[in-house]
Structures are given as structure tokens and as C-alpha cells.
Amino acid sequence: MVAEESVRVVRCGGSELNFRRAVFSADSKYIFCVSGDFVKVHSTATEECVHILQGHRNLVTGIQLNPHNHLQLYSCSFDGTIKLWDYVDGILIKTFVVGHKLHALFTVTCAEDSVFVIINKGKQDIFQLVSVKLPKSSSQEIEAKELSCVLDYINQSPKCIAFGNEGEYVAAVRDFYLSVYFFKKKTTSRFTLSSSRNKKHAKNNFTCVACHPKEDCIATGHKDGKIRLWRNFDDDKKYTYTCLHWHHDMVMDLAFSVTGTSLLSGGRESVLVEWRDATEKNKEFLPRLGATIEHISVSPAGDLFCTSHSDNKIIVIHRNLEASAVIQGLVKDSNIFTGLMVDPRTKALVLNGKPGHLQFYSLQHDKQLYNLDIIQQEYINDYGLIQIELTKAAFGCYGNWLATVEQRQEKETELELQMKLWMYNKKTQGFVLNTKVNMPHEDHITALCFCNAEKSETPTLVTASKDGHFKVWILTDDSDIYKKAVAWTCDFVGSYHKYQATNCCFSEDGSLLAVSFEEIVTIWDSETWELKCTFCQRAGKIRHLCFGRLTCSKYLLGATENGILCCWNLLSCALEWSTKLNVRVMEPDPNSENIAAVSQSSVGSDLFVFKPSEPRPLYIQKNISREEVQWGVFVPRDVPESFTSEAYQWLNRSQFYFLTKSQSLLTFSTKSPEEKLTPTSKQLLAEESLPTTPFYFILGKHREKQDEKINKAFESELVQLPLTENIPAISELLHTPAHVLPSASLLCSKFVNSLLLSKETKR
């Protein structure tokens, strides 16, 4: 196999969906969002991913519908190209090479053959809005070098640029001023807020801008939560603005509805606010959206909105402010305390998600399967508030049990700890809270592990804590004559000379428990809870501890803070070997004897794969990431790969995933797993790209009923029925724009008559 040579570190899923505003298709059937190097096409009704548009070689930074053909989509990327896609079939039509790093893309209906992009010229912080002329050519790849600068010294974010009133002007905001460029007059007006000059600490920096689609009105969002509506800005002197204030924190994004009657705004409060008629009184709320609103967009048909959130989610919202669909990617905005775990049932990757939740993320489909609410309390998003944090979690007994630990510490002495044990309910296919333990320990819990041996009858859980104890919890029968129930109780409390317990680990067969107390490792018999022996290397606190597996189950591995990796032989109770390695992550492979260790050096992180029985590593990959690797996990493969080369055999049965400090999820593969992702349904194709309105439903149903009736009455006869489209009166009514139609009273009789079936046609 040729591919074997190219095993490399690749990014795997979980890219940001909320990086840029999502875009709706003209019929609101599809929603497009950027996702790393790709553009994803989702169905708004089913949330399913229909297509992945692949082709860019760097982060996609902007997407826009082609204003002249609503079945086409423009996208731009950091790789300096603008690509035109046919999203219905997922085909790349054209590539325009611009050359500069493109930060955002805008299209305007009136500009025939040009689009607008934000590029970075020269210095770090200086961005320009330029118009790019897209040359007409039949070839696939076209150079588009004809740039003309529109606005200079603007903000990098596309939220700070808005085109207004069919492209007559463009508004840009940066820091304390709003600049408006009029294309016809080719002049720029600048507006500064009066207070920003005097008060240094007035937090009225501009954060975003939106333009009214019909009128000359610009809405700007500010850091202090105010929204200002600017009018008469074509005159430098007579301009006016009104203020709308509800948000108590920064306004993250603004959007006008298609007709311009209402303005949508969102921010940190995770509440979507709809301002009707641009007045402070008329506002509607959609609260509890879960996380900070980053972007808001509106569908061209006007029936849907969508909000992108900081927890990597897009919510599709109906016109009447009802959330209808959620497209959820890997949540990345919180600190990962729990580490990476694999749910034995779904094979999903499990880690901290939304605040107080565990997320179950499918690696195969790059999709969040579900969120498990662990803390079950109202989330108050406020700056400086100490939240309850989900710090530890572990699966046990083939996914039947889940243990979680949450904590909140305001002051040194005030620690709130809670341990929860969740049982998998087969009927509801989810975890149900079984036991809640208040203050299971007097100090932070440092580790918890289940005994996963096959033969063990009673499920057993061990928690180790900084208070110097480790506790053994077992499942007991709590049933009486009224109900059958099981609950967890503490079975044994162990300690070793008042040292802090730092790690715990069960051997593969469950007969031994290893608990590390700072520098000392203690081995306990899990039958009698007797202390069997202790190991001490005097090389710093033990940071990681794990038993060998299968043929290597007689070895115990420990990594210390001083950068020593030790391997003890449990039969001889002696040190087998030790080496100097600054281990950050140590993970055993559940399907083999292999153990992966990621070490940290000043240059980057290195990966070592070895068997405990021999100190020589099987595989070394230097510099897997420039950042610190925080967590790693082996995920068993569904279909084993067949690498023949000895170096890669450790990848045959499981795959190693790891998470870096900047929370990118990486793995080792021959090709990018995102390329392997397959959209679940390709048959979803746009037949009719017109929005389905209630009127359509009524008419369509009416037609259906007619058909049925006729089929029943004249089964044998061939009848030519005039279809509604064929009647000129109806087609005139349906296809003429409303503002040019004569009054309804004139049309009514004609229209109703045309719908009636005349007797001649029946016979």
C-alpha cells in the first residue's frame, strides 16, 4: 500500500460552524455554513447535512449566494480564491484566484460582475474592502486580479461591513466611528459618537452594523449594549440617530428582516431580541438559546432566521420566533476538564460540552449526537460569576453506568462537590440519574474509575481525592416492597499516611486497584481491600497511572511530574525499567497491549507508542503538534485497518485521537477523515426552488382533491382537465408582482370563475 507512507496528523471534524454568518438558499430549504476548509449544506427542515463542498485549501471565510443565480454559491477562503459552487449537486463550477488572503465576501445585486472582499494589505491591523471584478471565461480556473479599493482602514470582521439599499452605499464601523461610502457620489462620510471623544471609558465602541433593506437607515451595535439607528446620513450635518437599549452586554450581531420592519439583535445574554418597527416598546424575545449569539442571518424568503452561537451551533428559527432546528457541531468554548472518553455504546466521543453538559460527539458523522444535562441548573451567563463545573466523568460496565463529579469553589473553604451516578435506561435510550452524593470527599476529587472487569458481579467505582482518602463505591440493592431500586453506597475508605490521593486505576481483570498517593503507588486487593504492596520512585508526584493489558497485565506504568516514566513488574514487585520522558498524556489501547504517551518539550509534542514489556517504543512521531496536547484517547475502529508496515500496526484496531490546548481535535490517518465523511442523504435535491407558502398548500391540496374526484367519477374516460397553471387568469395572478396588480376586487370574480370547472370540459 502506498498510503502507508503518508500516515500523518490530520484535523478531524469539529470545525467551527459559527465562524461566519450562515446563509440561506433562496427557497429556505437549505442553509450553508462554513466549516473549516469546507462549506456545509444542511437541510433546514431535517438538520441533515446534504452536501459538503470541498475544494478550498484553507479556512473558508465567507459565503454568499450568487445574486444572479440563486442556485449558485460564492465562497472565499484564506487560500486566496473565490469559488463558485452549484450547491444542488455539490459541484465546483469556477475558481477565481485573487491572490490575497481573503477575510470576508460580499455580493451586491446591482454590481454585475464584481464581488467585494476584505483583504489585508501591508500591516497586521489594516484591512481594506476591495471590489474584485470576476472576469467571464469558460475555463475552470480564472485569475481575478482586478481589484479596486472601496474603503480603507476597516475592521476585519464581516459583521462590521454592510451594504445598504440595493448596494447604493456601504457602511463600515471601526472603534468609535461609522463610515459610509456612497457608490454614486463616490464620497465617504464619517460619523463619530459625541461621547467617545470626551470619555475615554465610555464603552460605546461599534461592534456590528446592519443596513435597512428598503430605507436609508443604518443600525449599529455597541459594546455597552446599545443599538443606534442612523438616519439622514447622506448629510454630514443633519444626521440623526435614535437609541435602542435592552442588552446589558455587547451587541454581537444585528440583522434586519427582509422587509425591514423588524430588527434582530443578539449578544452574550443568549436572547434573540426582535425590535418591531424600530421602537423600544415593541420587542419580542426568544430566550435561553444556550450560548452567546455570534451571528444572526435572515433567509431571503423571509420565513426563517438563524443564529450562530459560541458553542458551535446554528439554530434555525421561524418567523414567529420558534426554534425549529439545531445544527450542532463539536462544542469547544468551555475548558475540557473531563478529558476525552468513548461511550462504549455509541462509540461516540464524550467530553465537556455546553456549560454543565456532557456532549456525545459522533466522530464518523462530525455531528453532536446529544447533550446530557449533568448539572441541571439554570445557567446564568454573567461576567465574573463562578459557575458549577463538571470536572470528572467516567463510563463503567459497558456503558451502563456513568459517574460525574461537579464542583464549585468560591473561596478556599467553600467547596461544593457533588457526585452523580447515571444509569443507562434501555427504554428511553438515555442516561437517568440514579444516585446523587453530596460532598463525596472533603476536597477536590482527582480521579475516578470504574472496575471494568468482565467477571465482576457488583459494579464498583473508586474515587481518589486530595483529602487523602480514596473511596470505593458499590452498587447495592435499595428495593423494598413498594419498588425495586438500586443505589450506590460507600463500601470502603482507604488512605495512606495522609498523602493526597492523585490517581486510581483498576487492573484489567479487576483484581487489583492501584492508587497513587503523591510519590507513592499503593496496590490494593479489590476483594478484601487490603494493602498489598507499595512502589516508590522518589521522582515527583505521580501524574498518570495505568495497568498494562492482555499479555502485559503484569506491568504497572506510572508517569511522574519530574518527567520520569516508570514500569513496575507486579510479580516481582520491582522496577522493570524507567526512562526520562515528560509525559503529558498516557492512554492504554483497549484492544491491544499498546500504550500511547505524548510528551511535551519546548519545541512541541511528541508521540511514543510502546508495549510495557519492552522499553523500546514501537512508533515515534516527533512534533505531532506545536501546542501542548491536553487529552488523548484510543477509539476502537468499527472495521479494522490493515497496515502491513510494522510501524503502523498500532493503528490497525484503534485510532488515537488527541485534543490540543487550542481545542483542535487531531488524529493519525492516511487521509483527512473529513474527506471520509459522507453526507447521509444525497437524494435531497431541489426540485422547485420557490418557497412553499400556506397559499401553495391550499391550492395544491385543492388540486389534489380535484384529481381524486375526477379519477373516481370517470375512471374509464379520458378527461383533459385544464391544470391551474394553464389558466391564464391564475398564472397572471400568481406570477405578477403584487404591487403592479390591479385591486383585488377587480380580479376576484375572474379568478374564482377560472377555478370553476365548466360543463363542457367535464363532458
Location of C-alpha cell 452574550:
268
With CB under 8 A as the contact rule, the residue among 240, 324, 376, 761 that binds other proteins is 376
* Contacting residues for 654 by C-beta, under 8 A, at least 6 apart: 589, 590, 591, 592, 634, 635, 636, 637
Interaction between residue 438 and other proteins (CB under 8 A): yes
From 125, 412, 454, 480, residue interacting with other proteins (rule: CB under 8 A): 480
Q: What x-and-dash track marks residues 698-727 binding other proteins by CB under 8 A?
A: ---x--------------------------
Q: Which stretch binds other proteins (CB under 8 A): 198-206, 217-225, 479-487, 676-684?
A: 479-487
Would you give the DSSP letter of residue 339?
Answer: -
Q: Is 498 in the site for other proteins (CB under 8 A)?
A: no
Q: Which of 412, 414, 646, 717 is close enough to bind other proteins by CB under 8 A?
A: 414
Q: Which is nearer to other proteins, 200 or 497 (CB)?
A: 497
289 binds other proteins (CB under 8 A): yes
Q: What does the DSSP 8-state code read for residue 212?
A: -
What residue type is assigned to position 443 of the chain?
A: D
Question: 322 or 717: whose CB is closer to other proteins?
Answer: 322
Q: Which is nearer to other proteins, 51 or 309 (CB)?
A: 309
- The strand order across the sheet containing 91-97 reads 60-66, 69-77, 81-86, 91-97, 141-143
Considering only 146-154, 191-199, 280-288, 504-512, which stretch makes contact with other proteins by CB under 8 A? 280-288
User: How many CB atoms are closer than 10 A to CB 690?
Assistant: 12
d(CA 96, CA 80): 9
Compute the least distance from the CB of residue 413 to other proteins, in Å: 8
Complete DSSP assignment for 53-65: E---SS-EEEEEE
Among 2, 481, 571, 574, binds other proteins (CB under 8 A): 481
Chain CA centroid to CA 116, Å: 28
Of these, 248, 288, 661, 762, which contacts other proteins (CB under 8 A)?
Answer: 288
In the shown chain, the binding pattern of residues 515 to 534 toward other proteins, with x for contact by CB under 8 A and - for none, equals --------------------
Cell (9 digits) for 84: 463558485
Contact 235, 256 (CB under 8 A): no
Pair 229, 244: CB distance under 8 Å = yes
Among residue numbers 312 through 331, which ones bind other proteins (CB under 8 A)? 315, 323
Segment contacting other proteins by CB under 8 A, of 143-151, 245-253, 376-384, 423-431: 376-384
How are strands ordered across the β-sheet holding 357-362? 341-342, 349-352, 357-362, 367-373
> CA-to-CA distance for 575 and 409, rounded, in angstroms?
39
What one-character DSSP code corresponds to residue 385? P
482 binds other proteins (CB under 8 A): yes
Which C-beta is closer to other proteins: that of 284 or that of 675? 284
Q: Is 385 one of the binding residues for other proteins (CB under 8 A)?
A: yes
Which amino acid makes up residue 90?
G
Closest separation between CB of residue 392 and other proteins, Å? 19
Pair 52, 73: CB distance under 8 Å: no
Q: Which residue has 435592552 as its cell numbers?
A: 246
Which burial class, exposed, middle or buried, applies to 645 when counting CB atoms under 10 A from its CB (0-12, 13-18, 19+)?
A: exposed
CB of 467 to other proteins, least distance (A): 16
Does residue 408 touch other proteins according to CB under 8 A?
yes
Phi–psi pair at 701, nearest 5 degrees: -70, -40
Q: Count residues contacting other proteins (CB under 8 A)?
A: 25
- Residues found near other proteins in the complex (CB under 8 A): 286-290, 315, 323, 376-378, 380, 382, 384-386, 388, 408, 410, 414, 416, 438, 480-482, 701
